[in-house]
Amino acid sequence: MAARDRFAAGQAHALRRALGVRVIIVYKLAKSVLQIVLAIAIFLLASSGLAARAHAFAVTLGRESASAWSAALMDVLSKATTPHGAHVVSAALAADSLLSFIEGSSLRHGYRWAPWLVVGATASLVPFEIIDLVGHGWRLTRIVILVINIVIVAYLSRRARREHRSCSATTGDDTTLPPGAGERTTEG
């Protein structure tokens, strides 16, 4: 049992030290910090009544923008800067920030289940990103985000499967259950 725990700890440490995993950790934690800062700023903006001014500013900039991408950006900002829209955006950013923080922190700490958490959370959003691309046009930023998420899912799922196989081969255990789980006890 102790050998299995030491091996699992070593595998977790190796997973944590892999360059790809470190890049994902930095990405998730930096994304989390940026999103919570934006969520707080947007919430304060909406709560202070400045959302109406920001809305008017975004509408004005949208009318006077010279390029298509800046007009599209101002259109999105004008919708998001209504008081209700600002609160919704703030809440969504805060929720995604929390999820990104949990993903990055669990990977950083080397939990065996962490890659699967990131894979599940990230893969679950891919269909929505594709629907958004199809419904709202093929924008470069959306395509880049979709590609990054697909790469993260493919990389972490492949790496986690490989780590699981090597752990199973070394310990002789082919299950994913924790030690002691599934054992029957007789109570009399």
Q: Is residue 15 part of a domain?
A: yes
Q: Is residue 183 part of a domain?
A: no
Q: Is residue 185 part of a domain?
A: no
Q: Is residue 186 part of a domain?
A: no
pLDDT level of residue 50 (50, 70, 90 thresholds):
confident
What is the Cα–Cα distance from 46 to 156, expressed in whole angstroms? 38
- The mean pLDDT of the chain is 78
Which tokens belong to 73?
């950006």
What is the Cα–Cα distance from 129 to 142, expressed in whole angstroms? 7
Q: Is residue 130 part of a domain?
A: yes
Number of domains in the chain: 1
pLDDT tens digits along 123-155: 998 998 888 888 877 888 888 888 999 999 999
Q: Is residue 184 part of a domain?
A: no
Helices then strands, counting H and E runs in the chain, come out as 7, 0
pTM, to two decimals:
0.66
pLDDT tens digits along 98-131: 999 999 999 999 898 999 999 999 999 899 888 8
Q: Is residue 140 part of a domain?
A: yes
Question: By residue range, what is the domain housing residue 96?
Answer: 2-171
Q: Is residue 181 part of a domain?
A: no
